[in-house]
Structure 1
Amino acid sequence: MGVSNKITAILNFMALMCSIPIMAAGIWLASKPDNECIHLFRWPVFVLGVLILLVSLAGFIGAYFNKQGLLALYLFCMAALIILLLVVLIFAFTVTRPDGSYAVPGRAYREYRLDEFSKWLRDYVTDSGNWQKIRVCLADSDTCPNLTQNYITADQFFAAHISPLQSGCCKPPTACGYNYVNPNLWINPVNPSADQDCFLWNNDQNILCYNCNSCRAGLLGNLRKEWRRANVILIVAVVVLIWVYVVACSAFKNAQTEELFRRYKQGWV
C-alpha cells in the first residue's frame, strides 16, 4: 500500500470515528419523548451517521486494498453526505433560533408562548392532523406522571427546573391562577384568566393541557433545547469531516500519481 493510500486509510478511519458521535446524537434525540412523538425529527441524524459510517468504511477498504474506483465513489458520496449534513445543521439552527420562553415570577421553570417560535415549526405542530397524533403520543408517555412521583409539595414543584414539555403540557399556565394540589391536579380559580388555555385545562390525566397552545409551545421548547445541544456535536463532526475530506482528496490525487509512476517504471506506459 502506497504512502498516499495509507494516509487515506487513516483519514477514513477518522471519518468512521466521527460517525459514532453523530449516531449517538441521533439516538439521544430519538429517545426523547417529544421526538418519539414527532417522527419527522426522530431519525434523520442517526441515519446520516450510519451513512457516513458505511461510506467511510468503503473508503478505508478502497485505500487499504488500493481500489481507486472505490475511493472515487467514496469521495463523491462523502461530499454529498457532508453537504446533506450542512443542510440539516443550517435548517435545524434556523428553525430553532427563535425562543418562545419567558420567566414566571416565583417559579424556577419557564413557560412558553407558541407565537414566538419559528413559523415553520408552529405550522407543523398546529396542523390538526399532526397535533392529534402528537397529543395522543404525549398522553401515552410518562412525561407528566413522572412529575407526581418526583414532587410532593408546591414549594418543591415551583422550585423545580422541569422540562419545557412538562411546563407546557402537564400543568395549567401560571397566569390562569389555578391552585396547586399536585403537579397534575389543580383547583379551578374563582376568576380564571381569559386565556383560552385556562378553559382547556382538565384534571383528567388523559387530557391535562394536551389541547393547550402552551403544550404545543412546550413541545417546541423541548425540540429547540435538544437540537441546540445536538448541533454542537454535529458542528464539530462536520468540521472534522470537511478537513478529512480535503486531505483525502489530495491524498487520492497523489495515489493516482504514484500509481502512474509505478506503471511507468514497470514499462506499462
Structure 2
Amino acid sequence: MGAEAIVAAAPATPPPAEAAAAAAEPDLPPGPSFVVDVPPPMHGATPPARLREQPPKLITLSNAVAAVTYLSSFPLLGYGVWLLATRDLNCEGLLLPADGPGSSSVINYRAGFGAALLVAFAASCFFAYGGAKVLHPGAAALACLLVVMLVLGVVFLGSFAMESRGVPFSPMWVRTRVAREDTWAEVRTCLHKSRVCRDMAFRTIELSPDKFKEEDLPPIESGCCKPPELCGMEYVNATYWNRPRDENPPPNGTYAGGGGGSYLTSYATTTTTTATGNSSANPKTFGDCLSYSNVETQLCYECQSCKEGFIKSVNAHWKKLGEFLISMSVILLTVHAVRFVVTMITRE
C-alpha cells in the first residue's frame, strides 16, 4: 500500500471540547432582556433587615450619654483603689469582731468594699461600651448591682441614725466597742503604728503657737496627739508641750513641784466648774491633763479626748460612705436608664 493509504487509515484527532460544544450549539439571535421576579418570603420567615442611617442628632446624643456614663463611674474606681491602697482608715476595722488577734477583720473589710466598688466600676463601663450587644441582660445585672449599692448606703445611714448597741457601726455600738479595754488597747497600738501623730508633727513643724491653734486638725490628731486646751500647757511643737507653772494651775486641779510640775490626782472630787467659771467643761477631760505625756508611745492615747476623737472619726467615715453609695447609685441608675432608652431608640 502506498503512503496515501496509510494516512487515510490513521484515526483522526478528536476536536477540543470547547470547539465541539460551539459546533453543536446553533447560532441564535440575542433575546430580549428580562427580570426574574423573586417570590415573596414564606409565611413566618424573617424578612431581610434593612439598614437605616441614624440621624446625626441621635448619634450625638448616644455618644454624649456614653461619655457622661464613663465620667460618672470614675469615683467608684477612685474610692475603691483608695480603700485597697491606703492604710487602715485610722484603725476603725479593729472594732469588727475577729477570729483571733491581728487585723484579719480589717483586711476583709477593706478588701471587700474595695473589690466591690471596682466590680461596680467595671460593670458600669462595660455596659456603657458594649451595652447594645447585651442590652437586656446587661441592664438587668447592672440594675441589680446598683440597687444593692443603694440598699447598703441606706443601711449605713440608717445605722448611723439608730441609737442601738446591737446595730454594727451605729454610734452606740462604736462607743460600746471603744469602752472595752482589750479593743481600745488594739486600737491604741494601731494608732501609734500608723504614725498619725508623727505625720502631724512633721506637717506642722514650722508653725508658730498661734498658727498651730488655728489649724483645723482631724478629730484623732486633735484628741490623741496633743493635750486638751483647758490644760493650759505651753506649746513647743505638735507633740511636745510644757506643763503650766505653779502660778497658773490647771482648772480644778493642783500639782506639786516646780518646772514642769506633776499633777496630783484630785480630779475625782472636781466639779464641772472651772477656775474661769466655765460650767460646761467635762470633768473626764480634766483627767486627760494627767494622762498626757511627751513620750511618743504614750502622748494622749489614753485620754478620753482620744477616744472621743476616734469615735467621731469612725462615725463620720461611715456616714460619708453611706452618702457616697447612695449618691453614686442614684446617679448611675439615672445615667444608665437614659443610656438604655437611647440605645433602644437607636436599635429601632
2:130 matches 1:75: no
Could you say if the C-alpha distance between residues 239 and 9 of structure 1 is closer, same or farther in structure 2, counting changes exceeding 3 Å?
same
Q: Tell me, which stretches of 5 or more residues in structure 2 are unaligned?
A: 1-50, 94-105, 163-169, 255-262, 269-283
**Displacement, 1:169?**
0.5
Q: Over aligned residue pairs, what C-alpha RMSD do you find?
A: 4.0
**Displacement, 1:45?**
5.0
* One-letter code aligned to 1:75: A
Q: 1:9 touches 1:61 (CA, 8 Å); kept in 2? A: no
1:67-216 to structure 2, matched below 5 A, reads 67=134, 71-72=136-137, 74-94=138-158, 118-149=171-202, 150-151=204-205, 153-188=208-243, 191=254, 193-194=267-268, 195=284, 196-216=287-307
Could you say if the C-alpha distance between residues 181 and 16 of structure 1 is closer, same or farther in structure 2, counting changes exceeding 3 Å?
same
2:51 matches 1:51: no
Which of the pair is proportionally richer in helix? 1
Distance 1:147 1:118 in 2: 26
Distance 1:181 1:187 in 2: 7
Could you say if the C-alpha distance between residues 120 and 13 of structure 1 is closer, same or farther in structure 2, counting changes exceeding 3 Å?
farther
* One-letter code aligned to 2:154: I
Distance 1:12 1:130 in 2: 48
Distance 1:35 1:79 in 2: 30
Could you say if the C-alpha distance between residues 203 and 95 of structure 1 is closer, same or farther in structure 2, counting changes exceeding 3 Å?
farther
**Identical-pair percentage:** 25
2:59 matches 1:22: no
Which one scores higher on RCO, CA 8 angstroms, separation ≥ 6?
1
After superposing the two structures, state which structure 1 stretch, 164-173 or 244-253, moved more.
244-253
**Displacement, 1:230?**
5.9
After superposing the two structures, state which structure 1 stretch, 221-230 or 199-208, moved more.
221-230
* One-letter code aligned to 1:54: A
Distance 2:63 2:180 in 1: 48
1:30-41 to structure 2, matched below 5 A, reads 35=89, 37-39=91-93
Could you say if the C-alpha distance between residues 125 and 95 of structure 1 is closer, same or farther in structure 2, counting changes exceeding 3 Å?
farther
TM-score (ref. length: structure 2): 0.53
Q: 1:33 touches 1:138 (CA, 8 Å); kept in 2? A: no
- CA-to-partner distance for each residue in 1:215-264, whole Å, 9 max, x for gaps? 122123334555566666545422221213434565687799x6xxxxxx
* One-letter code aligned to 2:189: V
Q: What is the number of residues matched between the two proteins?
A: 233
TM-score (ref. length: structure 1): 0.65
